[in-house]
Amino acid sequence: MASTGKRVLALARNVSLSVPLQSQQPHYPLIFRGFFSTDPSISITNPLLLKLLQEPTSSVKSVLDSQENGFLCSSRLSLNALVTSLISSSMLKKAQLVLEWKLENMSKKNERDLDFYINLICLCGKLRNSSLAMRVFNVMEFQGVKPTVTAFNSLIEACISSNNMITAFSIFEVMKNSKNFKPNTDTFYYFISAFAKLHDVNSMQAWYSAKKAFEFSPDLRTYEALIHGSVKSNCFDFGVKCFEEMILSDIVPNTIILENMLEGLCKRKNFDEVKKFLNVVLDNGWEIDWNVVEKFIPVWFESGELEGMKEILTKLNKWN
């Protein structure tokens, strides 16, 4: 028993070494992360960002009113980079003021670019400000820009990210009863994903059933949300059902789904299920990494199934 355990640990270490380590990112204080971001859209030397970080909140709009600074956030790309950096730096009020300033300017110029309005709504979602997102939507309609399903979905997503579920439900009802803005597969995904994160399996299942009732086939991200929600809410039987359904639909699971499935199986402490699942994963050549392996090693030690553990780790070592 002891020698088998040592062999298992040795194999585990070999598997560990065969998986590339993630590159180490330098650690910076939160307020400077926008300057050192790996996102190419965020300039390290963005003078407007530097200025807004230094200026008091009351001066944000006056800073943006200057011709030079206003030009620096005239495009969607530059606006996104600026607002995202301010949010990352925990300057939420300043990020809100930038969005308000942009919306006011779009209104003055009678802006009719639908995509820009949708982009603003999405940024409001990142800021978790559903009231500002609604304001953008209202200004858009006032300017005579006809909304689309994408615009409604962006508004729903912004409301959900702001924990404003009542408004999100109301928008869904508007879409459902309309002729031109019927809910699409994305609409249902936002609700399924939201309840999965809340570990509310009953609501998650209800929205999944509604999606199928509208004849929308579930996709990879939907299954990812369903399985995650099932595992975290300790309703893993539904997760197994979704996984089997996904495989029958010829949808290849991603690493996140495999990790969640393994976690759910380990919670059951049934070695045979874990072993069978991992053999299926390896035989199909699906992606798996050391972080996944680490989750089931303690379970196998507890079960006393060290020989079976050795078999899987040997297979993992050869696969890697």
| pLDDT computed for residue 250 by the predictor | 94
| pLDDT at position 76 over 80 | yes
| pLDDT computed for residue 126 by the predictor | 96
| pLDDT computed for residue 37 by the predictor | 41
What global pTM score does this model have? 0.80
Report d(CA 276, CA 312) in Å as an integer: 10
- Residue 217: half-sphere exposure toward Cβ, Cα within 13 Å: 8
| pLDDT at position 45 over 80 | no
| pLDDT computed for residue 110 by the predictor | 92
Coil, strand, or helix at residue 299?
Answer: helix
Average pLDDT, the chain: 82
The model's pLDDT over 161-208, given as tens digits with 9 standing for 90+, comes to 999 999 999 999 999 999 999 999 999 999 999 999 999 999 999 999
| pLDDT computed for residue 27 by the predictor | 38
Q: Which tokens belong to 188?
A: 């249902």
In angstroms, what is the C-alpha Rg of the chain?
25
Helix and strand numbers (H, E) in the chain are 18, 0
Closest CA to 220 of 264, 191, 196, 255: 255
Torsion of CA 173, 175, 177, 183, to 10 degrees: -100
Average pLDDT (258-266) is 89
Report d(CA 41, CA 75) in Å as an integer: 11
| pLDDT at position 254 over 90 | yes
Residues in the chain: 320
CA distances from 67 to 63, 138, 145, 218 (A): 9, 27, 27, 48
The model's pLDDT over 210-251, given as tens digits with 9 standing for 90+, comes to 999 999 999 999 999 999 999 999 999 999 999 999 999 999
| pLDDT computed for residue 33 by the predictor | 39
Torsion of CA 154, 160, 162, 166, to 10 degrees: 110
